[in-house]
Structure formats: C-alpha cells, structure tokens
C-alpha cells in the first residue's frame, strides 16, 4: 500500500518489474543492418504521486547486433508495469535500460506517448547507442 495525495492505493514499486522474463533469439544476419520496430497502445503503469493509472503508446525501435527480443517475453515484461508506481520520465529510462541489457543492440530508441490527463500530453523519449547512416529512418 502506498499513500498518494492523502489516499491509500495498492501498487508496487520498480522492484516488482521483472526484466528476467525477457528472452532473445539469435539474429542470423548480423552483417545486415535492419531496424526492428515494436509498438503497443496498451502500455500502462501507475502514477506514484496520484495513484491513478497512466495509459500510453510505447514504441521501441532498435538495430540488432546479435540478438532479437522475443515478443511473447516482451509482452510478459510489459504486464509487469501494470501495477507499478513509476513516473513517466523514469519509465522510459527503465524500459531502455532493461531492453538494452537484454539484447545489446547497436542502437535503440524507446518512446512513451502518454494519453492526455488533466489537459496535459506527455511524450518521453530515450535512446542508447549510435545510429549508422539513414538505416533507422530518423
């Protein structure tokens, strides 16, 4: 139980996020640079200040080196955020850190585009590594 704005809500902290569920498989064409794009409009976590749920669109783009993220394990990983109290700006960094540790890409970008709440729209973006040429479309 966590107290937020004088009310008590039941949600966990970042320790309940489980990056160990993430799995990968070998990228069989490491000499060929490709961009892998994964997105979902069902990302959810809890605002640790208000205790209210945050909903958003998550976009992950990366250039693999030797490993590809296995999608079913990625879904299980994301479900772990559902009841976690985490600020939006921290969530994007935590996602990036866990995903980079999982697959060690050449380059990765994580974008969380949150739904409007209280008249405010938030987009948080973080990246790791170096982009080569125009291969990422960025």
Tell me the pLDDT tens digit for each residue of 18-57.
999 999 999 999 999 999 999 999 999 998 888 888 999 9
Residue with tokens 């985490």: 86
Give me 76's structure tokens. 């299980």
Cα 11 to chain centroid distance, Å, stands at 19
Active site residue 54: yes
Of 54, 65, 113, 134, which residue is the catalytic one?
Answer: 54
38: left (phi over 0), alpha (psi -120 to 50) or beta: beta
**Tens digits of per-residue pLDDT, 77-97?**
999 999 999 999 999 999 999
Among 15, 47, 102, 103, the active-site one is 47
Distance CA 84, CA 44 (A): 9
**pTM of the full structure:** 0.88
Phi, psi for residue 111 in degrees, rounded to 5: -125, 130
Phi, psi of 56 (to 5 degrees): -165, 175
All domains of the chain in start order, with CATH? 26-129 (3.30.1130.10)
């Amino acid at each position: 139980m966590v107290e937020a704005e004088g009310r008590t809500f039941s949600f966990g902290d970042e320790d309940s996020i489980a990056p160990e569920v993430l799995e990968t498989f070998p990228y069989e064409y490491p000499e060929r640079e490709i961009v892998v794009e994964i997105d979902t409009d069902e990302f959810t976590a809890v605002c640790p200040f208000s205790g209210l749920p945050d909903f958003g669109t998550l976009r992950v783009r990366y250039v693999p080196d030797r490993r590809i993220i296995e999608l079913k394990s990625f879904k299980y990983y994301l479900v772990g955020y559902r009841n976690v109290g985490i600020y939006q700006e921290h969530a994007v960094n935590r996602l990036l850190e866990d995903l980079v540790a999982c697959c060690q890409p050449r380059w990765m970008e994580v974008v969380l585009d949150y739904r409007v709440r209280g008249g405010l729209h938030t987009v948080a973006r973080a990246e790791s590594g170096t982009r080569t040429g125009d291969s990422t479309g960025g």
